[in-house]
Amino acid sequence: MSLGKWQLDRLAWKQQILRNIETRITDPEIPLPTTFDPAVDKYQSVSMRGTLRGDFIRVLGSLKLVGAVNKIIAPVVIDQRVIMVDLGYLKEEDLERLALSGDVAITGNLHWPDETDSYTPPPDLGRNLWFVRDTAAMAQHFGAENVIVVAKSIDPLPAAITIMPLDTTGIPNDHLNYAITWFSLAVVWIAMSALFIWRTRRKKVT
């Protein structure tokens, strides 16, 4: 029962965190900062104008009801700065239609995705295919600053691209399921204990 109560407390804590993130994601945009602090600036809404450099990285992904997709990370040049932008996604068959050039106006959120682990394969540079958004490695690849702007609007929108704004759906929140599991185990334990006591007393009577 204590473990179930602890999970309910964790649920309330996680829901507050998600509300804070959602509020920050939807806050009014500010101009792109000159410096970044991941601990302070993560999810900050920003606006920027620059020029698509033309090169890009595709990151293998999968979406419900869509299937396999390629997330497109591209460098945008702003004066002397190079900023990586997560433009959105497209399907494999649409890669040939992708053309990244010209000036763009972008709004989005600053992000430092934590997607790598010990099982993450290295990028297939021959196919320009990456398997996670590794901010530091991609920044080195592009010669860009160590931050990704996840776009929520792009004007003009490159052909074949579907924007995928940042949201909280990918942040796990399973504490309610854990709480139900612990409370269910407690109920089963109580029922088994009651049955054991009843059977023990019955044997003594007979």
Mean pLDDT for back-to-back runs of 10 residues, the chain (206 residues): 84 79 86 93 94 95 85 95 96 89 95 90 93 95 96 94 84 78 88 87 73
Q: Is residue 111 part of a domain?
A: yes
| Residue 13 located in a structural domain | no
The answer to whether residue 175 is domain-embedded is no
Domain span holding position 59: 32-155
Number of CB atoms found within 10 A of residue 178's CB: 16
For the chain, the domain total comes to: 1
Q: Identify whether 23 is part of a domain.
A: no
47 located within any domain: yes
Q: Is 181 a member of any domain?
A: no
Q: Which two tokens stand for residue 175?
A: 């504490």
pTM (two decimals):
0.78
Instruction: Check which CATH number belongs to the domain holding 62 and give it.
Output: 2.40.50.140
